[in-house]
Amino acid sequence: MASLPMEMIFWGGRGHAKVLAEIVRMQGSQVCAVFDNNSALESPLEGVPMHYGMDGFSRWLGRADRKGSVGGIAAIGGMAGPARCEFLKLFRHYGIPTPSLVHPEAYLAPSVTLGDNCHVLAMAVVCADACLGEATIVNTKASVDHECQIGDGVHVAPGATICGCVEVGRFSMVGAGAIVLPRVRIGEGALIGAGAIVTQDIPDGVVAYGQPARIVRKI
């Protein structure tokens, strides 16, 4: 992994930002500003200023001519893959690099392909020839096995297991502790419930849970 810029900005002011800030500090960088659209939130990081919405972002850019020297992270968890990808576009528009964050206690095989602004958290495992799209989260103790194709904006929640040669469409979420068996395809924008066991393909835009997982409704 390439070293991070000395300073980072986060868009997202909730718990996921706290988790990512720990990785930033471990890699010798620091968070200098947090942005969120919710003006009722206070900064999740002690001593780090909070700014609100595009107006706040524009004012911050106007005061701090740091383009190229500050990195940007879409620090939004949950099933918010589209938002993460939109904020990556915003950062890139302003010349702000969008690196990935990998916890030092995670394992990535040397042959893994990692998109921009992925978040791979503590004790996660990503195995040989797996490909993670941009703005993908592989959360605490989750595993993505060999040759999986994980689309942009996917969230693999804590403790989930994705077996080999699985394809997960963009913006989907695999819930905490779920298991996806080998060679299954999960469509775009699907939500797999916590603890589910996925034994067959899941189409786009549905909620599925149970053991084995069954489609319960459309999103």
DSSP-derived secondary structure for 34-89: EEES-TTPPPSSTT--EEEHHHHHHHHHHH---TTTEEEEE---SS-HHHHHHHHH
Euclidean distance between CA atoms 120 and 61, whole angstroms:
28
Give the pLDDT confidence of 167-191 residue by residue, as tens digits.
999 999 999 999 999 999 999 999 9
Catalytic annotation present for 51: no
CB burial of 152-175 (b: ≥16 within 10 Å; e: otherwise) equals bbbbbbbbbbbbbbbbbbbbbbbb
**Percentage, residues of the chain above pLDDT 90:** 92
Euclidean distance between CA atoms 88 and 107, whole angstroms:
24
Give the pLDDT confidence of 53-110 residue by residue, as tens digits.
999 999 999 886 665 589 999 999 999 999 999 999 999 999 999 999 999 999 999 9
Residue length of the chain: 219
> pTM here?
0.95
Catalytically annotated residue among 51, 93, 146, 155? 146
